[in-house]
């Protein structure tokens, strides 16, 4: 046998257990990772809640400003003095 063909099985024996251990580790930790993802998707963090509240407040403020401009325009068209 050639020396290289003798080293191949030896190298496989040394490297293969690492792959097996890594696979076993991945399989064992998969439920924990999946569970943490589900919890993350189903709950809202404080920063997400703050961001959503800020977005909602800005939308409401923009809506109110739009209504005020509309009302001012309507009053100008009818000849009433502006409240600004």
Q: Specify if 46 maps to a domain.
A: yes
In a domain, 8, yes or no: yes
**Residue 59's domain spans which residues?**
3-78
| pLDDT score of 1 more than 60 | no
pLDDT digits (tens, 9 = 90+) for 45-71: 889 999 999 999 999 999 999 999 999
Total tally of structural domains belonging to the chain: 1
Task: Tell me if 83 is assigned to some domain.
Answer: no
pLDDT for res 40: 80
Does 84 fall in a domain? no
Which whole-number Å values give the CA distances from 3 to 8, 10, 11, in the listed order? 9, 11, 12
Bigger pLDDT: 60 vs 21: 60
The pLDDT value recorded for residue 16 is 66
């Amino acid at each position: 046998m050639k020396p290289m063909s003798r080293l191949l099985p030896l190298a496989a024996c040394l490297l293969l257990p690492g792959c097996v251990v890594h696979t076993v580790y991945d399989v064992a930790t998969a439920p924990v990772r999946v569970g943490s993802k589900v919890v993350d998707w189903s709950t809202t963090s404080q920063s997400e809640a703050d961001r959503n509240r800020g977005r909602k407040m800005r939308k409401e403020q923009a809506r109110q400003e739009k209504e005020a401009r509309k009302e001012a325009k309507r009053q100008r068209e009818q000849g009433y003095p502006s409240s600004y």
